[in-house]
Structure 1
Amino acid sequence: MRDTQPLDELIRKLSELMPESVRHMQGDIERNLKAGLAGALQRMELVTREEYEVQAKLLARSRERLAELEARVAALEDALRPDMSSSSQKSGPPEE
């Protein structure tokens, strides 16, 4: 469940900025503002801080794992290079 306190606070501040002549409709205005802002935020497909943190940690672990795998591949390639060069030297140039 998302915390609605910041949204409620923003709506309260916006309704306080209304001219005195429309303050008698403050309750209606606050409800309409809340519905409008909630709809706009929903369309933005925002994520919670918690969801963001989970994904950031997952990405960090994935990057670490990728770096480890890249190092292993490089080590295996290095281990194969001397074998390849020595096998090509043993066979010599192709005969015609």
Structure 2
Amino acid sequence: MIAPNQWFEDFQKNMSDLLAKTPAADIERNMKALMTQTFARMDLITREEFDVQADLLARALERVDSLETRVHALEQQFDKTE
């Protein structure tokens, strides 16, 4: 008797082979190609690219805050010398 796991694996393989020979496989390939083209036209970015840009923005904002503090301190020193 065939083990249940082996039977399921054989069944899955047979179904995959059957589906590969039907129009369903062509439809799937065409849909993937259509979706790829659509996403390419949308100019999307990956999550990794987004995270990198968010990190760069956070560091830039910290730098701006630091520079604003320094400018404010220099303005106060300048006002005292006048």
TM-score (norm. length: structure 2) = 0.71
Structure 1: gaps (5+ residues):
1-23, 85-96
- Structure of greater Rg: 1
Q: How many angstroms apart in 2 are the aligned matches of 1:68 and 1:43?
A: 39
Q: How many angstroms apart in 2 are the aligned matches of 1:82 and 1:52?
A: 45
**1:39 maps to which of 37, 40, 46:** 37
Q: How many angstroms apart in 1 are the aligned matches of 2:80 and 2:70?
A: 17
RMSD over aligned Cα atoms: 0.9
More helix by share: 2
Higher RCO, Cα 8 Å, sep 6+: 1
One-letter amino acid matched to 1:79 = Q
Deviation track 1:36-95 (CA, whole Å, cap 9, x = no partner) reads 0000001111111111111100100000000000000000001110211xxxxxxxxxxx
Aligned length: 61
Structure 2: gaps (5+ residues):
1-21
Q: How many angstroms apart in 2 are the aligned matches of 1:82 and 1:59?
A: 35
Q: How many angstroms apart in 1 are the aligned matches of 2:26 and 2:80?
A: 79
